[in-house]
Amino acid sequence: SSRPREAALPWGHLSETSPLEEIQAAYAKLQEVDPAMAQRLHPRNARKIKRSLQVHHETGVPHSKWFTEQRQHHLRYADHMLRLLDAQSECLSRRLDQRVEGMMRRGLRQEIEAFNAAPGP
């Protein structure tokens, strides 16, 4: 799980209940490393600011670049469903980490590569 490593980062503890000064400092850092994403986000959206900083820190690539690349690829299937859930962030993070780790052990990367290599409809 990446959570202990995350806590060591300056923004690792950032949440919606963090003091405004901390959220502003994280937003200033985001403006520095990824001005395009900072422009897209509300300066007080701690969760999204934190996520964009994490993406940049862990990949070395600005979060906005990931968004741009994703938009260039069309979904293979036009029909899709979106469901929204409300749950505690820590609980979700722990469950998501466990799920993704299991999926990676079972060959998620290879499955995605095969899916992307297959011809579309």
The per-residue pLDDT for 35 is 96
Kindly tell me if the per-residue pLDDT of 7 is higher than 70: no
The per-residue pLDDT for 1 is 42
Name the pLDDT band for 89 (thresholds 50, 70, 90): confident
The answer to whether 49 touches 27, Cβ cutoff 8 Å, is yes
Choice between 1 and 89, residue whose per-residue pLDDT is larger: 89
By CB atoms closer than 10 A (0-12, 13-18, 19+), residue 31 is middle
Kindly tell me if the per-residue pLDDT of 75 is higher than 80: no
Kindly tell me if the per-residue pLDDT of 86 is higher than 60: yes
Q: Report the CATH architecture of 3-117.
A: Orthogonal Bundle (1.10)
Per-residue pLDDT of 16-73, as tens digits, reads 888 899 999 999 999 999 999 999 999 999 999 999 999 999 889 999 998 777 766 6
Per-residue pLDDT of 104-117, as tens digits, reads 999 999 998 998 88
Q: What is the pTM of this model?
A: 0.55
By CB atoms closer than 10 A (0-12, 13-18, 19+), residue 109 is exposed
What radius of gyration, in Å, describes the C-alpha atoms of the chain?
A: 17
